[in-house]
């Protein structure tokens, strides 16, 4: 093998190695400006956009909603835990700042054992406030008794909002 070929290969290999490093940096750079937030607003806009012919039969919508069956997951939609999901499999879900809660809330407005969500015998999911200081809100009403959760209704605890989804 000629000396020249080997020299070219030697330098070429180092160049290729560094090219890989530089490409990696490029990927990281494009990753830094997280796409998550913009994506989300974009999607929200899109979700609201599908427009016009929709004001019509509210009835049908309600009917369809009811028949969709039981929710399968709990989704955190606002607060520091945004995006966390927990599968609903018939177990009781506890929320609070206590570290053994199913969802550990890192929120000054939450109590250590704040609320729990559990299915009753019919499979209907119930939310119950566990005597929290700042209260648990279903839609805009503060809970006083265990209350069935209507589909899609936001449950607010401090800065955190959770929902049950199908």
Partner 1 sequence: MSTSHATGNTGSNTTISPGGLPSRRNTELAMLVFAVLIPVFAYANVGLAVNGEMPAGMLGYGLGLGLMAGVAHLVVRRFAPYADPLMLPIATLLNGLGLVLIWRLDQSERLALRGEGAAAPNQLMWSALGIALFLAVLVFLKDHRILQRYTYISMVVALVLLILPMFFPAVYGAKIWITIGGMSIQPGEFAKIIIAVFFAGYLMVKRDALALASRRFLGLYLPRGRDLGPILVIWALSVLILVFETDLGTSLLFFGLFVVMLYVATERTSWILFGLTLAVVGAVAVASFEPHVQSRVQDWLDPFHTVRETGDVNQPAAAMWAFGSGGILGAGLGQGHSDLIGFAAKSDYIFATVGEELGLTGVMAILLLYGLLVERGIRTALAARDPFGKLLAVGLSAAFAIQVFVVAGGVMALIPLTGMTMPFMAQGGSSVIANWALVAILLKISDTARRPAPAPAPSPDVEMTQVVRS
Q: State the binding string over 56-75 for partner 1 (x if CB under 8 A, else -).
A: xxx-xxx-xx-xx------x
| Residue (of 77, 80, 84, 92) closest to 43 by Cα position | 77
Helix/strand/coil for 72: coil
Q: Which is nearer to partner 1, 128 or 163 (CB)?
A: 163
The answer to the question of residue 5 lying near partner 1 (CB under 8 A) is yes
Q: How far is 140 from 154, CA to CA, in rounded Å?
A: 9
The answer to the question of residue 4 lying near partner 1 (CB under 8 A) is no
Q: How far is 77 from 43, CA to CA, in rounded Å?
A: 14
Q: How far is 96 from 52, CA to CA, in rounded Å?
A: 42
Q: Which residues bind partner 1 (CB under 8 A)?
A: 1, 5-7, 9-14, 16-18, 20-21, 23-25, 27-28, 31, 35-36, 39-40, 43-44, 46-48, 50-51, 53-58, 60-62, 64-65, 67-68, 75, 77, 80-85, 99, 104, 106, 152, 154, 163, 165-166
């Amino acid at each position: 093998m000629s000396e020249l070929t080997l020299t070219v290969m030697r330098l070429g290999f180092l160049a290729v190695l560094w090219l890989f490093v530089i490409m990696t940096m490029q990927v990281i750079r494009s990753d830094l400006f997280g796409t998550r937030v913009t994506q989300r607003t974009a999607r929200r806009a899109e979700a609201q956009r599908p427009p016009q012919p929709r004001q019509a039969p509210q009835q049908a919508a309600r009917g369809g909603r009811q028949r969709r069956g039981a929710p399968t997951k709990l989704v955190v939609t606002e607060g520091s835990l945004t995006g966390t999901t927990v599968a609903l499999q018939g177990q009781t879900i506890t929320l609070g700042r206590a570290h053994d809660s199913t969802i550990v809330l890192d929120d000054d407005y939450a109590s250590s054992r704040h609320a729990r969500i559990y299915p009753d015998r019919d499979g209907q999911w119930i939310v119950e406030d566990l005597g929290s200081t700042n209260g648990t809100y279903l839609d805009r009403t503060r809970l006083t008794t265990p209350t069935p959760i209507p589909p899609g209704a936001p449950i607010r605890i401090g800065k955190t909002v959770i929902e049950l989804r199908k």
